Chain A
């Protein structure tokens, strides 16, 4: 059985220039990866002896607005044989964030990547079906970005009853 130190050392030995940082927080380890190489690192994590991270548990998007780099995508990998969980993370710039897809490595990456695209607008290059997944297909904008308006509707009270009623859409019979 490997432990976290040996796993991280073997990844860093394989990709010395690609692993930009290793962050430990309360026993969880995060490897910051150069975005262009994420698929290669994930493939190594899946196939190498002593790692065998065969399960992609989740893909998450993060918006660090107003910091730069603004966006991040984190991949949670789990190894059944080693019983270890690590997180790979890529940081992306604000204008046109894009990262290679992981669908060639993990076929389960398809829907999570669509969700990250839908909510954060991160483009996954090479994704076989890069549509929205949660919002309607004709939706504009990406709702989980921090500069996305919440879409508040004015609450109707007695003093503004008529004004709110006039603005409210109503159906045909």
Chain B
């Protein structure tokens, strides 16, 4: 029982199936900005680290039910050298702050930062001496995701918002 005997796969789909078989897609014109930004957004690898309870929601976003790999985030990279996106999921203590900044410095440009949750955005409920009052004190943040913790839909919306922002970037001026 091969796949080819399935009648739905044997039908040619309009505009796609023929080109896929032969490798000849024809000609598409676009701008360099759009092409590069398309590549950047559709394969934006986040860094694998979590700091607090928001990381649980980040894991849920990554897992099969919400499935961040739908948006090109196939896998979290355990090394900053291979990451494009830093999702700061949780509160950052002042002892952790130099470590976080060092990780950010080790990421290759272009790189983006999402501050996930209230603690990473502004300190949240931890308005005291030990917690950084927003991770934007040490790294430049592109998107803030509110919530305590944000649900996976909210994080996905933050990632979509970041994609929109990246699509507006000029490649040679950043």
- Contacting B at CB under 8 A, from A128-173, are 134-136, 143, 148-153, 155-156, 168-171, 173
Which one of B122, B128, B130, B136 lies within 8 Å of A170 (CB-CB)? B136
Beyond A135-B95, A136-B95, A171-B101, whether A152 also contacts B137 by CB under 8 A is no
Residues of A within 8 A of B137 (CB): 168-171
B143 to chain A: closest CB distance in Å?
A: 16
Least CB separation from A148: chain B residue = B129
Residues of B within 8 A of A135 (CB): 95, 130
- B140 engages A173 (CB within 8 Å): yes
A135 to chain B: closest CB distance in Å?
A: 7
B120 to chain A: closest CB distance in Å?
A: 14
- A151 engages B140 (CB within 8 Å): no
- B130 engages A151 (CB within 8 Å): yes
Residues of A within 8 A of B123 (CB): 153
Beyond A171-B139, A171-B140, whether A153 also contacts B95 by CB under 8 A is no
Beyond A171-B137, A171-B138, A173-B140, whether A149 also contacts B129 by CB under 8 A is yes
B18 at the interface (CB under 8 A from A): no
Residues of A within 8 A of B138 (CB): 171
Contact with A along B108-134 (1 / 0, CB 8 A): 000000000000001100011110011
Q: Is the interface of A mostly helix, strand, loop or mixed?
A: loop
Residues of B within 8 A of A173 (CB): 140
B74 to chain A: closest CB distance in Å?
A: 28
Beyond A169-B137, A170-B137, whether A151 also contacts B101 by CB under 8 A is no
Residues of B within 8 A of A134 (CB): 95
A134–B128 CA distance with the chains assembled, in angstroms: 15
- B127 engages A143 (CB within 8 Å): no
B94 at the interface (CB under 8 A from A): yes
A156–B136 CA distance with the chains assembled, in angstroms: 15
A121 to chain B: closest CB distance in Å?
A: 15
Which one of A150, A168, A170, A171 lies within 8 Å of B129 (CB-CB)? A150
Residues of B within 8 A of A169 (CB): 137
Which one of B101, B129, B134 lies within 8 Å of A143 (CB-CB)? B129
- B130 engages A155 (CB within 8 Å): no
A171–B139 CA distance with the chains assembled, in angstroms: 5
A6 to chain B: closest CB distance in Å?
A: 45
A112 to chain B: closest CB distance in Å?
A: 19
A–B pairs, 15, beta carbons within 8 Å: A136-B95, A150-B129, A151-B128, A151-B130, A152-B128, A153-B127, A155-B127, A156-B122, A168-B133, A168-B137, A169-B137, A170-B136, A171-B101, A171-B138, A171-B139
Given A134-B95, A151-B130, A171-B101: 16 more A-B contacts, CB < 8 Å: A135-B95, A136-B94, A143-B130, A149-B129, A150-B129, A151-B129, A153-B123, A153-B127, A153-B133, A155-B127, A156-B122, A168-B133, A170-B136, A171-B136, A171-B140, A173-B140
Q: Top 5 A-B pairs ranked by shortest CB distance?
A: A151-B129, A136-B95, A169-B137, A153-B133, A171-B138
